[in-house]
Chains A and B, each alone.
Chain A
Amino acid sequence: MHELSIAMSMIEMATQEAARQGAARVTALHLKLGQLSGVVKEALLFSWEVACVDTPLAGSRLVIEDAPVVVYCSRCQRERPLDSIQKFFCPVCHAPAPEIRQGKELEVIALEVQ
């Protein structure tokens, strides 16, 4: 499980940013999580609580915004969100759609600081 080390990286990043902002605490971290990021949401949420102990993020919320996979369909010539990451086919015309435009994000979007 690599989610614990990912949680720790996020906490380190947030702690540095909070210091730069002159804030003592971080009360929430907003994360954009792509369906193809390779990170399991439940494992990350579980790791979060454990990793936050004794840091300026203790008791903070991890707010996850799920980013669906968006592919480019060359037949429709349009971007399409996938219904399932088990099926890389255009949901409209059903052509194979290997070209990924979104869904790999693992990105800290914002912090709530105090």
Chain B
Amino acid sequence: MSTPRLVQVRQNVLKHNDVLARVLRERLNKAGVFAVSLVSSPGAGKTAFLEQTLKQLRSTCRVAALVGDLATDNDAARLARAEVPVKQITTGTVCHLEAEMVARALEGWNLSELDCLFIENVGNLVCPSSYDLGEALRLVLMSVTEGEDKPLKYPTIFNTADVAIITKIDLAAAVEFDVQAAQQSIQSVHPEMPIFELSAKTGQGMQEWLDFLHAQVQR
């Protein structure tokens, strides 16, 4: 048998996704659509947050949402109550969304009729960090019930996100959540990241987040 020889390769393993994400980003930009993706662990209140955001935005902004889920369409059904276009992306066994799934879900949609598109990732703080979805803004959500050190346990996802949102802030006192310690954890893994503390249930802090989003969309 011949002796082994070394072949130089230098190729990005996720090149396929990265190329598709770049194409998608250009398409969204050209159509004037501001895309926001959301990542969190299961149960962080992503769907409640998104439902409130969609309801508040729809009077001033043409919004739509894509919702990734392993199997069910419960979240999409719930979001449809916000009376904006919602589409489910069922990932099956795949634990994250990829650019290709987003592009496929947008088939048949007229992007020029949209201003803002939300993409809710599968509840998972590990796998989604590797995949660019062509979004303009990536949000990472954590709830007050998850503990202040969550960002230190999952530094990569907090680092790849652009904005952190602390949800269920109305429960903070009850679960003895230390907001300052959480902010420190976030700033430690991603200095200068904007942080919002809010409750989708009571509406506390929602306006600050929406003002920030409006400013981003209009930029």
Contacts and interface: CB of A to CB of B under 8 A. Distances in A.
Q: Do A and B bind each other?
A: yes
Interface of A: 1-2, 5-6, 9-10, 13, 17, 21, 23, 27-28, 31, 36-40, 85-89, 96-98, 100, 106-114
B7 A111 contact: yes
B1 A114 contact: yes
B108 interface: no
B7 A106 contact: no
Contacts of B10: 107-109
Contacts of B126: 1-2, 38, 40
B13 A36 contact: no
Given A87-B188, A98-B191, A21 B156 contact: no
B127 A38 contact: yes
A112 B2 CA distance: 12
Nearest to A111: B7
A6 B94 contact: no
B191 A89 contact: yes
Contacts of B205: none
Given A38-B129, A88-B189, A13 B7 contact: no
Contacts of A13: 9, 11, 13
Contacts of B95: 1-2
A62 B72 CA distance: 37
Contacts of A110: 6-9
Contacts of B157: 38
Nearest to A17: B9
B127 A88 contact: no
Contacts of B14: 6, 9, 106
Given A5-B94, A106-B130, A85 B9 contact: no
A86 B189 contact: yes
Contacts of A23: 7
A99 B4 CA distance: 40
